Amino acid sequence: MPKLLHTPLMALTNALSAIALVGSIVILGRQESTYATILGFIAVVCSTINVVGGFLITDKMLRMFRRRPDPGAVNGRRDGRP
Amino acid sequence: MRQHAIELVYLVAAIGFVLSLKWMSSPPTARRGLLAGEIGFGLAIAATLATPGITGTGYAYIAAALFIGAAIGVPLGLLVPMTAMPQRIALSHAFGALAAALVGTTEYYLTQPAIGKFTMGVLGAEILLGFLVFTGSLMAAGKLQELLPQRPITYPAQNAINFAIFGAACAIIIALIFTPGSAALIPVLIVLALAFGVLLIVPIGGADMPTVIALLNSYAGLSGAALGFVLDNKLLIVAGALDGTSGLILSIIMCRAMNRSFRNVLFGAFGQLQEPDEGVEAGNVRSASTDEAAELLKLARNVVIVPGYGMAVAQAQHKVRELADALAREGVDVKFAIHPVAGRMPGHMNVLLAEANVPYDQLLDMDEINPDFPQTDVVLVLGANDVVNPAARHNRGSPIYGMPILEVDKAQCVMVVKRSMRAGFAGIENELFYDPKTLMVFGDAKAVVSELGAEVSGVKDSIGI
């Protein structure tokens, strides 16, 4: 696991673990009690924040990572070594 | 029939999640990994909406909640600057854990007292973990945002109090396993979990944050997996397990990078690095002006820049990139050396430098760069301290003894940009500063680096410094 991707990995697993959304949707949708509806509503909102935010931020970070424009150039990473 | 179809879609989604993490572990395939995760998630939501039993008003509520969540999530994803990423990540752990904990609590009230022993045990653990991670992550975010003091707060019998709370919570869970109908115990469990989360993070100092963030990530995943067992939802189990293990692996990497035992971290004995140290004799310090430093940098064949939390605080990453570019134009080979625990979360420096458009193949890990230091002309240390302290290698009395460091003292010349001679976060004197080949350049990281950049590109006069 390259250290470069540690933060994007955390953001991604965060989005994925928001799959608790699946459970919250069922609880909110079935309307079994007022209590369940209120808690389910909060849970769906929280999970959705994580899913949407998590995927967007992972995308934003990955977009920033780029290689050097001319990888074969003289200043390439391991070039110039004896 | 419909239930089988839903299960099948969940299975496909789970495969998508596994592929997503697999592809995420290498830069060229990372974007594909993100896409696999998104597709899996979309499928899972679609299948869930087709679950039998959801009422008409239910759909209306779901749509409203999804809309509100998205309305908050989109700005959180797009507008938060990279410098605020550690607290952003901590905050999202808090949201995720709260959601899981609320679902678990609701599930308890809907199904009690007819809950099996195994399910009740898992459910209890899930509620404990979920609420604990909720307040713990909020505390971490508060510390990172500097709303709360960053230094560790300790008080007598801290560990004893924490263990007592944890013990009481476990006792409640055991009681619930045998009498699942005692619903009055649940609020007590929740309060204990919330308090435990706060107390666990109180003694944590900023330097330990990368480990703690990774650990909270892991706990959030575990609570999700536990919820999966309770709801008998395999997709949740898979996603939670993936999150839990990847967080666990990250925390182990962080622990190794600090030479801390995992037990030490798991039981909340953080902040123990902050013991005062008397081992180092204060010697003579050589300091240099930015003019002199810039001359040296220009004369070097190769320069290694070592960024630390100081660079993040000063938001100097863009100026650092300008300096690196200016040096490259002068024919100097510039690389960056990244210590695994530099900054406040795993990968913090990589993200900041990427934001400043530094190509990632210019960033080298500790193991890659350490053999290169003896052939390095100049090392520029920017706001890093403990991760370059040679005491870690030879001073048995030092609190950081044994921690792997960037061996910058083996380079021909070391320049340290620092505000003053104050000790680093861990409160340890750094003998590197007294090394005869070390030059201290005093000042704010951003100001010093932008002056250096201007000097190197020879435009000093034109911008009137």
CB pair distance less than 8 Å for A30 and B53 = yes
Quote the pTM value: 0.83
Distance, CA of B242 to CA of B310 (rounded, Å):
33
* Least confident piece of the model among B31-45, B108-122, B416-430: B416-430
From residue B47, how far is each of A55, B51, B184, B234, B268 by CA, in Å? 20, 7, 35, 13, 40
Which structure tokens are listed for B31? 């974007």
Mean pLDDT throughout A24-38?
87
Per the CB < 8 A criterion, the answer to whether A23 and A55 are in contact is no
Distance, CA of B134 to CA of B130 (rounded, Å):
6
Chain A residues in contact with B26 (beta carbon < 8 A) = 2, 5
Residue A47 has its nearest CB partner, among B99, B348, B351, at B99
Identity of the highest mean pLDDT range in B25-29, B119-123, B284-288:
B119-123
- Judge whether residue B99 has pLDDT over 50: yes
- Judge whether residue B282 has pLDDT over 70: no
Residue B301 has phi, psi (to 5 degrees) of -85, -40
- Count of domains in chain A? 1
* Least confident piece of the model among B180-184, B416-420, B426-430: B426-430
Our answer to whether residue B386 is catalytic in this structure is yes
pLDDT band at B83 (very low <50, low <70, confident <90, very high): confident
Residue A74 counted as domain residue: no
pLDDT attached to residue B345? 82
pLDDT band at B15 (very low <50, low <70, confident <90, very high): very high
* Least confident piece of the model among A19-33, A39-53, A59-73, B338-352: A59-73
For residues B208 and B312, which has the higher predicted lDDT (pLDDT)? B312
pLDDT attached to residue B203? 80
* Location of each CATH 3.40.50.1220 domain in chain B: 290-463
Query: Mind telling me how many Å the CA of A12 is from chain B's nearest CA?
Result: 7
Residues present in chain A in total: 82
Mutation for A interface: B7, B93, B103, B367, most A CBs within 10 A? B103
Instruction: Name the active-site residue from B386, B409, B435, B461.
Output: B386
From residue A10, how far is each of B15, B26, B55, B92, B365 by CA, in Å? 19, 14, 35, 10, 19
- Judge whether residue B251 has pLDDT over 50: yes
Residue A36 counted as domain residue: yes
* Least confident piece of the model among B133-137, B146-150, B190-194, B288-292: B146-150
* Least confident piece of the model among B75-79, B155-159, B261-265: B261-265
ipTM: 0.81
Q: Residues 322-341, chain B: which have Cβ within 8 Å of A? A: 328, 333, 335, 338, 340
Residue A82 counted as domain residue: no
Assess B58–A contact: CB distance below 8 Å, yes or no: yes
Edge to edge, what strands does the sheet with B438-442 contain? Answer: B363-365, B333-338, B302-307, B378-382, B413-418, B438-442
- 3.40.50.1220, 3.90.1570.10, 3.30.379.10, 3.30.460.10: CATH of B290-463: 3.40.50.1220
Residue A10 counted as domain residue: no
Residues present in chain B in total: 465
Residue A27 counted as domain residue: yes
**Chain B residue closest in CA terms to A16:** B239
pLDDT band at B462 (very low <50, low <70, confident <90, very high): very low
Question: What is the domain range of residue A55?
Answer: 19-64
- Judge whether residue B272 has pLDDT over 50: no
Q: What is the pLDDT of residues B386-415, one digit of tens each?
A: 888 888 888 877 777 788 889 998 999 999
Q: What is the pLDDT of residues B126-179, one digit of tens each?
A: 999 999 999 999 999 998 888 887 777 777 777 788 889 999 999 999 998 888
pLDDT band at B13 (very low <50, low <70, confident <90, very high): very high
Mean pLDDT throughout A27-36?
85
pLDDT attached to residue B262? 67
- Judge whether residue A41 has pLDDT over 60: yes
Query: Mind telling me how many Å the CA of A82 is from chain B's nearest CA?
Result: 11
Mutation for B interface: A24, A32, A41, A46, most B CBs within 10 A? A46
Assess B18–A contact: CB distance below 8 Å, yes or no: no
Residue A71 counted as domain residue: no
Q: What is the pLDDT of residues B328-337, one digit of tens each?
A: 988 899 999 9
From residue B341, how far is each of A55, B253, B359, B365, B386 by CA, in Å? 24, 9, 20, 11, 10
For residues B83 and B88, which has the higher predicted lDDT (pLDDT)? B88
Mean pLDDT throughout A33-38?
87
Q: Give the largest Cα separation in chain B, rounded.
A: 80
Nearest partner of B91 among B22, B157, B145, judged by Cα: B145
**Chain A residue closest in CA terms to B332:** A75
Report the DSSP beta bridge partners of residue B305.
Answer: B336, B380
**Which of helix, strand or coil describes residue A77?**
coil
Residue A37 counted as domain residue: yes
Residue A24 counted as domain residue: yes
Which structure tokens are listed for B155? 């008080």
**Chain B residue closest in CA terms to A11:** B89
pLDDT attached to residue A48? 92
For residues B115 and A47, which has the higher predicted lDDT (pLDDT)? A47
pLDDT attached to residue A71? 45
